[in-house]
Amino acid sequence: MRDTNREIQELLVDYADALRDGGIPAYLSSLTGEEAQRIASSREFWDAAEIVRILNSVGFADKAVTPNVGLFISRVDAKLASRQKKARALSKDKHSVHRNPLTKTEKPEKSI
């Protein structure tokens, strides 16, 4: 069973482990109400947590992968082109209805 009355230093070590492993939500849910209060009111914890975040980002900088947004942008471009094409088709249909109000079944009468 884990220690439910951890000191700030122990909470910081656990935070650093969770940050490294990607388990921040699990870390936050593991906090007791008293621990959460101490963290919230401890300037020491927040200063140390900022240093841990910086060290973590430096330590994993070579492994960090920036997302490739090229696929996202191409999908957005395709969606925009599709919407423009549909809008042009709809506007052509609207213009053709206004120009020729007769339907295909109605034929104009020829004057004799």
Reported as type and span, the H/E element at residue 30 is helix 24-30
The half-sphere exposure of 84 on its side-chain side, counting CA atoms within 13 A, is 6
What pLDDT does 75 receive?
Answer: 87
Cα 36 from Cα 52, distance rounded (Å): 18
pLDDT in 10s for each residue of the chain, 112 residues: 356 678 888 998 998 888 888 888 888 888 888 988 988 898 998 898 899 888 888 877 666 566 677 888 888 889 999 989 888 888 776 656 555 555 556 566 666 6
Q: Residue 53: its pLDDT value, please?
A: 87
pTM, to two decimals? 0.49
> Ramachandran region of residue 70, left (φ > 0), alpha (ψ -120 to 50) or beta?
alpha
- Return the pLDDT at 1: 39
